[in-house]
Amino acid sequence: MTQEAQSLDALRLQLAPLVADAAVFDGWSGEAVKAAAEAAGVDPALATYAFRDGAMAMISAWIDHVDMTMAASVAGGALSNLPIRERIRRLVWARLEAVAGREEALLRALAIMAMPQNIAASTRLGWRSADAMWRLAGDKATDYNHYTKRAILAGIYAATLHSFARDSSEDKVETRTFLDRRIEGIMRFEKAKAQFLRKPEDRFSVTRLLGRMRYPAR
């Protein structure tokens, strides 16, 4: 990566939350970028160049900023003594807290991400967010579990974002309940999967059971 590219990435990361603030009123637009640049004391022309690829570039940078905020919130071994379900819950909630107060910008971002031309990029961003969470949670799976865990969490996180953006309950209690139910679903799935994937000799077998009924042990 060239020095220019690194500088532009740093600028996008710096401006991302300010663009999100402006997107509440201006949408994910050039006007939001200019407002963010003015708030940060950055040359508007340079900011416009940094986000020349449009709304998805702005949203992607915001997600990068959320990733960074999430990682900082659990630094120093904050998750080390927690069960896996609590690690995931805290990581998801850290992401939600990072976008709190910008629900209108979030709704607009979700609408843009759902556009047909943006589905592939949005899927990659969702996967990246899920991967970041599982890695911070300590997941070291390298087989197909690596993929199933991330696919499931990406779906749950996307649904939780929609709930959070529309939740007007006090302290987002409805979203908290929504998230807890779905994390419990992940844990039940992982438990069932682990039982199914036990060594063949440990699995329940109808054939083996019928054989024992026909030829009981002496």
Query: What does the alpha-carbon distance between residue 36 and residue 21 come to, in Å, rounded to a whole number?
Result: 8
In this structure, are residues 40 and 14 in contact, taking their beta carbons and an 8 Å threshold?
A: yes
Q: Would 169 be classed as within a structural domain?
A: yes
**Does residue 41 fall inside a structural domain?**
no
Distance CA 37, CA 47 (A): 6
Does 122 fall in a domain? yes
- Work out how many domains the chain is built from and give that number: 1
**Range of the structural domain that residue 125 is part of:** 77-214
What is the full per-residue pLDDT of the chain (218 aa) written as tens digits?
Answer: 576 667 999 999 999 999 999 999 999 999 999 999 999 999 999 999 999 999 999 999 999 999 999 999 998 888 989 998 899 999 999 999 999 999 999 999 999 999 999 999 999 999 999 999 999 999 888 787 889 889 999 999 999 999 999 999 999 999 999 999 988 877 776 666 655 555 555 544 544 545 454 455 54
Q: Is residue 115 domain-resident? A: yes
In a 3-state reduction of DSSP, which class is residue 24?
A: helix
pTM of this structure: 0.83
CA distance 85 to 2: 40
What secondary structure does DSSP assign to 124-174, as a single string? HHHHHHHHHHHHHTT----SHHHHHHHHHHHHHHHHHHHHHHH--SGGGHH
Domain CATH number, residue 96:
1.10.357
Secondary structure class of 48 (helix, strand, coil): helix
Residue 49 lies in a domain: no
CB distance 19 to 25 below 8 Å: no
Q: Is residue 10 in some structural domain?
A: no
Closest to 160 (Cα-Cα) out of 65, 94, 62, 79: 94
Q: What is the CA radius of gyration of the chain?
A: 22
- Asked, for residue 8, whether it belongs to a domain, the answer is no
Residue 180, domain member (yes or no) = yes
Contact indicator for 140, 125 with CB cutoff of 8 Å? no
Q: Are 157 and 98 in contact (CB under 8 A)?
A: no
